[in-house]
Amino acid sequence: MNLSRILFLIVILSLLSQVAAADSLITPTSTPSEIISRNQVPPSSPRNPTSLTLGDVLARTAELNPELVTLGFGGEVTDGRIAQAGMAPNPSLSLSVENFGGTGIMRGSEVMEVTVQASQLIERGDKAGRRIVFAERERDIAHASLVLRRSDILAASANAFANALAETKRLSLKEEQLKLTKETFDLASQRLEAAIGSPSEVARLRAALASAQADFARAQANCTIALSALAASWGGSAADIAEIKGALNLPASPPPLARLATALSLSGNPRLGLLSSVVASQRAALDLETARGAADVTLGVGVRRLNEGSSTAFVVGASIPLTFRDDNSGNIRAARAMVRVAEQSLRAAEVEQRAALVAVHAELLAVHAQATAIRREALPAAEEACISVQYAYDNGTLAFIDVLDARRALITLRHDLLEAELAYALVLVRAETIAGTSFAEMKALLK
C-alpha cells in the first residue's frame, strides 16, 4: 500500500469518527417515552377533601407548587454545565497540499508536498478545574434562588392559611350578626302587631336585616375565595379542603428580638444566602479570568509526503500566542470589580435585613399589645356588660333593645379582636421570613 492510500484512509477514518461522535450527541440513549417520563412534571393526583393544619399546607405547597416543581428541573441544567466545563479541547486534524499548480520548475506534481498533521491544544493555568468551580458556583446560585423563591411561596401560603382561617371566623361572626338582626326585626314586628311599636322602626330593621343578609352572603363568598387562594398554593382547588384546623391564639408574649436575630445569624435569610452564592461565583469568575490570562500551547505531529524523490518525513510543531497585546488584563480587572460589587451588596443587604427585622419586631409588639388589650380588658368588659344587661332585662328594668345593643357591641369587639390577631399573624410571617426560621412560631401560633 503506497503512501497516498495511507493518507486517504487517515482522512476518511477521521471524518467517520467525527460523524459517529455527532450521531452520539443526536441519538438519544433512552426511548422517547422514557425521556418524557423523566422530565414530565408529575401531575398532582386527585385528593379527597381533608382537614389541613398549617404544617400540612406548607408541606403540600413545598411538594406540589407548580413553580417550585418547575424550578427543581434547574439542577439538571447546572449539572450539564458542570460536566461540559470539565471537558478538554478536541484535537484537530489538518491536511495541506503544497507546491502544486505552479509554473516553471514548480509545474506538475513531482514537487507537490502533502502533509497530514494532528494538533492538540494544551490548556495552561488549570482552566478546566477553574471552569468546573465556576460552574459549581453557578449551580449554588440556582439552588439559592430556588430556596429564596420557596421561602416567598411558603410565606404567601402561610398568609393564605391565616386569611382563610380569619374568613371562616368572619363568616361565623356575620352569621351571629344576622341571627341577632333577625331577632331584633321579629321583636319589632311583634311590637307593631301589638300596637306598641312603630312602622318606621320596623322599616329600618327590615333594611338592616337585608344588609345583614348581604354581608353574610359576601362573607360566604370571601370564605370560598380564601380557600381557593389557599389551595392554589399547591395547584389544587377549594374542593381539596374539608376544613382548616387551627385558631388565632396569641401567645403571652411575642418571640423576643434576640431569638429572631440569632436565627437570622445561624440559619440565614434566603436573600442573604443568594447574595453569598453570588459573591462566591464572582470570586470563581475572577479565578477563571486570571487563568485565561495564561497562554495555551498547541502541539502538533504529522507526516509529510514529498513526491519529488518519493520521500516521507515526520512533522512536529508547537505554537503559543504572544500575550504582549492581550493578556486578558481587562477582563481580570472587570471580574475583580464585580467581586467588590457583590461583597458590598452582601454587606448592604445584611444591614438592611437586620434593620427590617428590628422594624418588623416593633410592629409585632404593637399589634400584640393591641390584641392583648382587646382580649384581656375590652372583651371581658363587654361580656360582663351583656350579662348585666341581660340580668336587668330579666328583672324588667331594661328593654330588650338594650340587650340587642349590648350583644351587637360584643360582636363588633370580637371582630376587632379577630382583625388584630390576623394582623399579628401576618406580621409574624414577615418576621420569620426575614429570620429564616421555617415558620416555627407561626405553626405554634395556629396549632
The CA distance from 374 to 419, in Å, is 11
Closest CA to 140 of 281, 262, 313: 281
Predicted local confidence at residue 163, as pLDDT: 94
Look up residue 237 and give its amino acid.
S
Predicted local confidence at residue 108, as pLDDT: 59
Predicted local confidence at residue 399, as pLDDT: 73
What's the angle, vertex CA 179, arms to CA 173 and CA 185, rounded to 5? 135
Q: Is the dihedral of CA 427, 432, 434, 438 positive or negative?
A: negative
Predicted local confidence at residue 7, as pLDDT: 47
Predicted local confidence at residue 109, as pLDDT: 59
For residues 171 and 223, is the Cβ–Cβ distance under 8 A? yes
Residue 242 CB burial class (10 angstroms; 0-12, 13-18, ≥19):
exposed
Residue 416 CB burial class (10 angstroms; 0-12, 13-18, ≥19):
middle
Q: Which three cell numbers stand for residue 382?
A: 363587654
Predicted local confidence at residue 187, as pLDDT: 80
For residues 92 and 118, is the Cβ–Cβ distance under 8 A? yes
Q: How many residues does the chain have?
A: 447
pLDDT of the chain, 447 residues: tens digit per residue: 454 444 444 544 554 455 444 444 434 443 333 433 334 444 444 456 788 899 999 999 999 999 999 888 888 888 999 999 999 899 999 988 887 766 665 565 566 788 899 999 999 989 999 999 999 999 999 999 999 999 999 999 999 999 999 999 999 999 988 988 888 888 878 877 777 767 877 788 788 889 889 999 999 999 999 999 999 999 988 888 888 888 888 888 899 999 899 888 876 789 999 999 999 999 999 999 999 888 899 999 998 887 766 788 888 999 998 888 888 899 999 999 999 999 999 999 999 999 999 999 999 999 999 999 999 899 889 889 989 988 887 787 877 778 778 888 888 899 999 999 999 999 999 999 998 878 888 888 887
Predicted local confidence at residue 426, as pLDDT: 94
Predicted local confidence at residue 368, as pLDDT: 94
**Site of grid cell 443587604:** 349
Encode burial over 170-204: b for 16+ CB neighbours within 10 A, e otherwise.
Answer: bbebbebbbebbeebbebbeebeeeeebeeebbee
Q: Please give the biggest Cα pair distance in the chain.
A: 139
Predicted local confidence at residue 4, as pLDDT: 47
Query: HEC states along the chain?
Result: CCHHHHHHHHHHHHHHHHHHHHHHHHCCCCCHHHHHHHHCCCCCCCCCCEEECHHHHHHHHHHHCHHHHHHHCHHHHHHHHHHHHCCCCCCEEEEEEECCCCCHHHCCCCCCEEEEEEEEEECCCCHHHHHHHHHHHHHHHHHHHHHHHHHHHHHHHHHHHHHHHHHHHHHHHHHHHHHHHHHHHHHHHHHHHCCCCCHHHHHHHHHHHHHHHHHHHHHHHHHHHHHHHHHHHHCCCHHHEEEECCCCCCCCCCCCHHHHHHHHHHCCCHHHHHHHHHHHHHHHHHHHHHHHCCCCEEEEEEEEEECCCCEEEEEEEEECCCCCCCCCHHHHHHHHHHHHHHHHHHHHHHHHHHHHHHHHHHHHHHHHHHHHHHHHHHHHHHHHHHHHHHHHHHCCCCCHHHHHHHHHHHHHHHHHHHHHHHHHHHHHHHHHHHHCCCCHHHHHHCC
Predicted local confidence at residue 310, as pLDDT: 72
